[in-house]
C-alpha cells in the first residue's frame, strides 16, 4: 500500500498548477464566465498544446496514454483555479467511453481530433426529470435503414451549445423492468445535425447548461457507441468516472479555499489582533481542513479502485456524497470567515462557493449517492 503519487505525477501537478495560475487568473475566469460560450478557445488551444487533451488517449491516436489518475490530478488543479471549459466533458465523458466502447472506426475518427484539441464533446443524458438513473431516460431513437431517428428533450446538458458532437443516451427499446436499464443505446450525434436545437442557460456554477431538443434528428447507425440496447453499463461507468472527476475538481477547489481562508485569518485584524487568534476562528478552519483532507483521501481511494476495475460503486458514491458536502461546507465557512467581502462578486471566494453547489448536483446529488450506498450495503 502506498499513498503517494509517482514522481511523474507530482511533476504533472506542478506544471499544471503553474499553468493554471499563470494562464487562468481569476480575472480571466470571470471574463470567460461572462462570455457566451463559457470557455476560452485560446486557453483551450494552450492546454491542447501542452498535451492535456491527449493525456489519456493512447499513443496510436495521438495521445500519450496516461492513466485515469493522471487525468484526475489535472482536473484537481483545474478545480483549484476554477478553470472553465469542457475538459471534463470532452475527456471523461467523451474520450474515455469512446476508448472503452468505440469501434476501431469511431476511435480513428474521434480520438485524434480530441487529442489535438479540435473536438469538443458533451454528454446528453439528463432530461426534464432531472435524474441520473436509467429509468428516467425517455428520449427515444428509432432505427430506419442504416440510421436512427432521435426525438425528445435533454436538459441540463453542459457545454452542448459549443460541442462538436453530443453523446446522446436514448431508448431504443421499451424496458421491461422498472429500472429501465435494458434498452438504452448511445449515439455520437453531430451537433450540426438538422432538427437539433440547443438553448443555453446560466447556472449557479457558471457553467452554461442547455436544453437540447431532438426533432427527428438523423444519426447514421455507425455512430452508435457500444451495443444496441445495452448502453447502460457504458453510461454507468461514465457516471462513476464523471462523479470522481467532479470530486477531484472539488477537492482542488476545496484546498484552495482552505489555504485562502487560513492566510486571510492570519492577516485580517479585528479587535486589535488577527482573527486567527480567536479560538472559534481556529476551530472553524480546523473543520475546513478536516473536510478537505478526508474528501481528498476518499476520492483518490475510490478513484484508484475505479481505475483498477475493482468493485467500487459504494466507494464512488461515498466519495461523491462526502466530497460534495465537504466542498459546500468549506466554501460556506470560508465565505463566513472572510466576512462580508466573501459574499461579493469581486472576491474569488464566490467562484468556489457557486461551483461547490454545482458540483454537488452533478452526476447525482448526495441523496442520490446515499441511495446507491444503501443498496450497496444491502438495504
Q: Which residues bind its own copies (CB under 8 A)?
A: 278-280, 283
Residue 290 sits in the site that holds another protein (CB under 8 A): yes
343 binds, among another protein, its own copies, none (CB under 5 to 8 A by kind): another protein
| Cβ closest to another protein, residue 104 vs residue 280 | 280
143 binds, among its own copies, another protein, none (CB under 5 to 8 A by kind): none
Q: How far is the CB of 7 from another protein (least distance, A)?
A: 12
Report d(CA 283, CA 274) in Å as an integer: 15
| Cβ closest to another protein, residue 192 vs residue 309 | 309
Rg of the chain taking only CA atoms, in angstroms: 21
Q: How far is the CB of 332 from its own copies (least distance, A)?
A: 17
CA angle 124, 126, 132 (to 5 degrees): 125
Under rule CB under 8 A, which residues in 89-118 are in contact with another protein? none
**x/- binding map, residues 251-280, to another protein, per CB under 8 A?**
-----------x--xx--xxxxxx-xxxxx
Report d(CA 218, CA 117) in Å as an integer: 26
Q: How far is the CB of 355 from another protein (least distance, A)?
A: 11
Report d(CA 334, CA 369) in Å as an integer: 25
Under rule CB under 8 A, which residues in 338-357 are in contact with another protein? 339-341, 343-347, 349-350, 353-354, 357
Q: How many residues does the chain have?
A: 379
Residue found by looking up cell 477547489 in the block: 253
Give the list of residues 6+ apart from residue 216 with CB closer than 8 angstroms, or none. 149, 150, 151, 195
269 binds, among another protein, its own copies, none (CB under 5 to 8 A by kind): another protein
Q: How far is the CB of 169 from another protein (least distance, A)?
A: 16
User: Given candidates 35, 129, 177, 216, which one binds another protein under the rule CB under 8 A?
Assistant: 129
Q: How far is the CB of 369 from another protein (least distance, A)?
A: 8
* Pick from 332, 329, 330, 317: nearest CA to 366: 317
CA distances from 361 to 194, 323, 364, 368 (A): 31, 12, 6, 10
Give the list of residues 6+ apart from residue 349 with CB closer than 8 angstroms, or none. 257, 260, 331, 334, 335, 338, 342, 343
Candidate segments 74-82, 96-104, 216-224, 368-376, binder of another protein by CB under 8 A: 368-376
Q: How far is the CB of 281 from its own copies (least distance, A)?
A: 9
What is the dihedral angle through the alpha carbons of 29, 35, 41, 43, rounded to the nearest 10 degrees?
A: -10
Q: How far is the CB of 322 from another protein (least distance, A)?
A: 5
Report d(CA 354, CA 328) in Å as an integer: 9
| Cβ closest to another protein, residue 115 vs residue 247 | 247
371 binds, among its own copies, another protein, none (CB under 5 to 8 A by kind): another protein
Under rule CB under 8 A, which residues in 26-65 are in contact with another protein? none
- Let me know: does 67 contact 307? Beta carbons within 8 Å: yes
- Let me know: does 298 contact 322? Beta carbons within 8 Å: yes
Residue 239 sits in the site that holds another protein (CB under 8 A): no
Candidate segments 42-50, 83-91, 143-151, 317-325, binder of another protein by CB under 8 A: 317-325
| Upper half-sphere CA count for residue 216 (Cβ side, 13 Å) | 1
User: Given candidates 39, 305, 306, 330, which one binds another protein under the rule CB under 8 A?
Assistant: 305
Report d(CA 17, CA 23) in Å as an integer: 10
Q: Tell me the number of residues near another protein by CB under 8 A.
A: 87
Residue 286 sits in the site that holds another protein (CB under 8 A): yes
Q: How far is the CB of 35 from its own copies (least distance, A)?
A: 42
Amino acid at each position: 500500500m502506498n499513498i503517494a503519487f509517482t514522481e511523474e505525477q507530482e511533476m504533472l501537478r506542478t506544471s499544471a498548477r503553474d499553468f493554471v495560475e499563470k494562464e487562468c487568473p481569476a480575472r480571466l475566469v470571470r471574463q470567460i464566465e461572462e462570455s457566451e460560450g463559457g470557455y476560452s478557445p485560446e486557453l483551450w488551444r494552450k492546454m491542447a498544446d501542452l498535451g492535456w487533451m491527449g493525456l489519456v488517449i493512447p499513443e496510436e491516436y495521438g495521445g500519450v496514454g496516461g492513466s485515469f489518475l493522471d487525468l484526475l490530478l489535472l482536473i484537481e488543479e483545474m478545480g483549484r483555479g476554477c478553470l472553465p471549459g469542457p475538459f471534463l466533458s470532452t475527456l471523461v465523458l467523451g474520450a474515455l467511453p469512446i476508448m472503452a466502447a468505440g469501434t476501431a472506426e469511431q476511435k480513428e475518427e474521434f480520438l485524434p481530433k480530441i487529442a489535438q484539441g479540435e473536438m469538443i464533446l458533451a454528454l446528453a443524458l439528463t432530461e426534464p426529470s432531472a435524474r441520473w438513473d436509467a429509468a428516467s431516460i425517455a428520449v427515444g431513437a428509432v432505427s430506419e435503414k442504416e440510421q436512427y431517428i432521435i426525438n425528445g428533450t435533454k436538459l441540463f446538458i453542459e457545454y452542448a451549445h459549443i460541442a462538436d458532437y453530443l453523446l446522446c443516451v436514448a431508448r431504443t427499446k421499451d424496458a421491461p423492468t422498472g429500472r429501465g436499464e435494458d434498452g438504452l443505446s448511445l449515439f455520437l450525434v453531430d451537433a450540426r445535425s438538422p432538427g437539433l436545437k440547443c438553448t443555453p442557460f446560466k447556472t449557479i456554477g457558471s457553467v452554461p447548461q442547455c436544453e437540447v431538443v431532438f426533432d427527428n434528428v438523423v444519426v447514421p447507425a455507425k455512430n452508435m457507441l457500444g451495443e444496441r440496447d445495452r448502453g447502460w453499463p457504458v453510461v454507468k461507468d461514465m457516471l462513476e468516472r464523471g462523479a470522481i472527476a467532479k470530486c477531484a475538481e472539488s477537492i482542488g477547489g476545496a484546498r484552495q479555499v482552505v489555504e485562502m481562508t487560513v492566510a486571510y485569518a492570519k492577516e485580517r485584524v479585528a479587535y486589535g489582533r488577527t482573527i486567527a487568534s480567536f479560538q472559534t476562528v481556529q476551530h472553524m478552519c480546523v473543520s475546513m481542513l478536516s473536510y478537505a483532507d478526508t474528501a481528498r483521501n476518499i476520492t483518490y481511494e475510490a478513484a484508484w479502485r475505479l481505475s483498477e476495475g475493482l468493485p467500487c460503486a459504494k466507494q464512488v458514491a461515498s466519495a461523491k456524497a462526502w466530497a460534495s458536502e465537504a466542498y459546500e461546507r468549506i466554501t460556506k465557512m470560508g465565505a463566513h470567515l472572510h466576512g462580508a467581502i466573501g459574499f461579493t462578486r469581486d472576491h474569488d471566494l464566490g467562484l468556489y462557493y457557486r461551483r461547490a453547489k454545482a458540483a454537488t448536483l452533478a452526476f447525482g446529488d448526495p441523496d442520490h449517492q446515499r441511495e446507491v450506498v444503501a443498496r450497496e450495503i444491502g438495504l
